[in-house]
Structure 1
Amino acid sequence: MKKVIITGANGFIGSSLTNYLSAKGIKVFAIVKNVHSNIGRLNKNKNIEIIYSGMDEILKLNELIPDRDIDVFYHFAWSGVSDSNRINYHSQTDNIKYTCHCVEASNNLGCKTFIFASSLWEYECYKTMSELEPVGLSSLYSSAKIAANFMARTLCNNLEINYMAAIITNIYGIGETSPRLINSTIRKLLNKEETQFTSSTQTYDFIYIDDAVKAFYYIGLKGVNNKSYYIGSAEPMPLKNFLNILKNCVDKEIELGIGKIAQKGIHLDYKMFDLNAVKVDTGFEPEISFETGINKTIEWLKNQKE
């Protein structure tokens, strides 16, 4: 692997992958929305070339990038992951269109492999839609991910581009600023704020950011065409187990409030995933335990607070 393109390159996962690959001597064309975008997460590295392009102009990449020997196109950019656009069908249908445009751009640039950032939410959506209960608006995001995944694969297959979907479970660690579970819980515990959870018996999995980007690297390097790869620790367990490890890393005396909220929502059976596909096909194995990753994240958040 010598050259890659990464959309959403200034995001949490995208920036970490950009920094990791560039440090390995790989040329990274880092796609960032515009000159006003925050690129503070990106290292100053001669192997990183920032390309300013919104997703609505992604088909112009062949004008912005003269190279025609790109090895991998990583597609992370997505509007409405954790903000109000998550339930906006205009934004979500645009995401589908832009994903297809990214595949077309890959073809124009002579790219050999396309990797789509898939999500557990797609599988939760399948289960939600199989039941008779009313469907919440958040399924617009999940439905768009499913459509983009299938359409991108179809286009890649017909353009003779290798296609892989990387199923993101829960990635956490240094650099994350979103209000997702791990980040928000650690912040609350550090601030001595009350936390409340369900009985937390549902199965979960987490993977530290450094391990996650290595998984993406190995998938790009050795992944099998048309395969979906599970990105997690490969050791899922009840959420309450993870929460108790997290709590003990912050303060063993803290009361988490497990069971104070009614249990609702979809529970996935992780037996549906091939947890070891990345290891079997590429040789990658996670190295950072949940406890170690949480301690690293806690120290980073403490420094941010100071």
Structure 2
Amino acid sequence: MKVLVTGAAGFIGYHVCERLLARGDSVIGLDNLDASGDVTLKATRLSRLKAAPNFGFHRMDIRDVKSCRELFDGAKPERVVHLAARVGVRSTPAEAQDYTETNVTGFLQVLELCRQARVEHLVFASSSSVYGMGTPVPFSEHAVADKPLSLYAATKRANELMAHVYSHQYGLAVTGLRLFTVYGPWGRPDMAPMLFLRAMLEGRSIVLNGEGKMQRDFTYVDDVVEALVRVLDKPPSGAPPYRVLNVGRGAPVSMARFVDLLEERLGTKAWVELRPAQPEELEVTCADATALERETGFRPSVSLEQGLSKLVEWYRGGEG
């Protein structure tokens, strides 16, 4: 297939591109290399992807209507994986405009281009944060998701609703994946796994909000990629051809336990600063992956113990 991947230089985007390239797909990567993330890390990921002959890269912002239209017209992608976004639940009022322009207006642009290009299937990244306040555990896709705790969560829920409209009105096949705390090699330096790992090795303190009692459903990146590729290969066939699926193990772990496991693998002690929970953070995330397994025959299975061991092994191998 010919697949367009937005956010190709990002953490998940990089791994998805690698997987698609390895199986012989032609991949068109799009990324604006936004300075809000680690630009050096993005560039390193990108340099590895560019070594593949069936990979082409375009430095471009999804909000750039003219350039994106020209790209779609020229490349004619059969399927699209949309991962480009401003990420993170902790946004400041000064960042609100950028979040909404990128995550909402930018996504509208992707939907419209997919409609015009008659793309066979659009798969986009949503988030476990959409579940918000008061959601029963484990989180089911059937739960009402109308009380987001962060602007980021609100933009991702908006994406799901916008995608449903395009699917209903125009027959565009769309799948949204609600991802649960993804971690692994080449991971985001602002998320707990990489942030804590580096701080502990450098003898710096780490902060545990919620006094370490908050629980997260950590999902290893290889499991996320496997789920995404299986979903990409199997567009929804309902009326409308639209679905939202959880991607997570359904095995939440407290942040205190997470630190314990990381200490064991690093052979070092963490200097921990306990703080109260932040208003934009859920107390617990836990995926019900029944629908994903029913749709694809796959359920994430890499335990946190296994995943952290792989992460530390990769980091100590000199590529972190």
Question: Could you tell me the TM-score, scaled by structure 2's length?
Answer: 0.80
Is the Cα–Cα contact under 8 Å of residues 29 and 55 in structure 2 kept in the other structure? yes
- Residue 289 of structure 1 and its aligned partner are, at CA, apart by 2.6
Cα deviation code 1:38-85 (max 9, x no counterpart) = 5431321122111232112245444334354x3321111113547867
Gaps of 5+ in 2: 136-144
2:276 to 262, 269, 287: 262
For residues 82 and 270 of structure 1, the distance between their equivalents in structure 2, rounded to whole angstroms, comes to 14
2:152 counterpart residue number:
141
Letter in 1 for 2:224: A
Are residue 54 (structure 1) and residue 61 (structure 2) matched?
yes
- Residue 233 of structure 1 and its aligned partner are, at CA, apart by 2.1
CA distance 1:164–1:48, shift in 2 (3 Å)? same
For residues 119 and 142 of structure 1, the distance between their equivalents in structure 2, rounded to whole angstroms, comes to 7
What SS does structure 1 have at the residue aligned with 2:132?
A: helix
For residues 117 and 302 of structure 2, the distance between their equivalents in structure 1, rounded to whole angstroms, comes to 36
1:179 to 190, 196, 201: 190
For residues 76 and 152 of structure 1, the distance between their equivalents in structure 2, rounded to whole angstroms, comes to 14
Is the Cα–Cα contact under 8 Å of residues 293 and 299 in structure 2 kept in the other structure? yes
For residues 180 and 65 of structure 2, the distance between their equivalents in structure 1, rounded to whole angstroms, comes to 27
1:289 counterpart residue number:
303
1:67-216 → structure 2 map (5 Å cutoff): 67-68=75-76, 70-79=77-86, 81=88, 88-95=95-102, 96-124=104-132, 139-197=150-208, 198-216=210-228
Letter in 2 for 1:143: A
Is the Cα–Cα contact under 8 Å of residues 180 and 217 in structure 2 kept in the other structure? yes
Is the Cα–Cα contact under 8 Å of residues 107 and 159 in structure 1 kept in the other structure? yes
For residues 160 and 263 of structure 1, the distance between their equivalents in structure 2, rounded to whole angstroms, comes to 42
Letter in 2 for 1:107: R
CA distance 1:45–1:101, shift in 2 (3 Å)? same
Larger displacement relative to structure 2 (57-66 or 73-82): 57-66
For residues 93 and 114 of structure 2, the distance between their equivalents in structure 1, rounded to whole angstroms, comes to 26
For residues 90 and 263 of structure 1, the distance between their equivalents in structure 2, rounded to whole angstroms, comes to 25
Letter in 2 for 1:187: R
Is the Cα–Cα contact under 8 Å of residues 89 and 153 in structure 2 kept in the other structure? no
Larger displacement relative to structure 2 (81-90 or 143-152): 81-90
CA distance 1:148–1:35, shift in 2 (3 Å)? closer
What SS does structure 2 have at the residue aligned with 1:78?
A: coil
- Residue 147 of structure 1 and its aligned partner are, at CA, apart by 1.7
Identity across the alignment (%): 21
For residues 247 and 129 of structure 2, the distance between their equivalents in structure 1, rounded to whole angstroms, comes to 13
Is the Cα–Cα contact under 8 Å of residues 116 and 166 in structure 1 kept in the other structure? yes
Is the Cα–Cα contact under 8 Å of residues 80 and 91 in structure 1 kept in the other structure? no
1:20 counterpart residue number:
19
1:245 counterpart residue number:
261
Is the Cα–Cα contact under 8 Å of residues 252 and 284 in structure 2 kept in the other structure? no
Gaps of 5+ in 1: none
For residues 125 and 55 of structure 1, the distance between their equivalents in structure 2, rounded to whole angstroms, comes to 31
CA distance 1:35–1:233, shift in 2 (3 Å)? closer
- Residue 26 of structure 1 and its aligned partner are, at CA, apart by 1.0
Is the Cα–Cα contact under 8 Å of residues 115 and 172 in structure 2 kept in the other structure? yes
CA distance 1:86–1:72, shift in 2 (3 Å)? farther
Q: Say what the alpha-carbon RMSD is for the aligned residues.
A: 3.1
CA distance 1:261–1:33, shift in 2 (3 Å)? closer
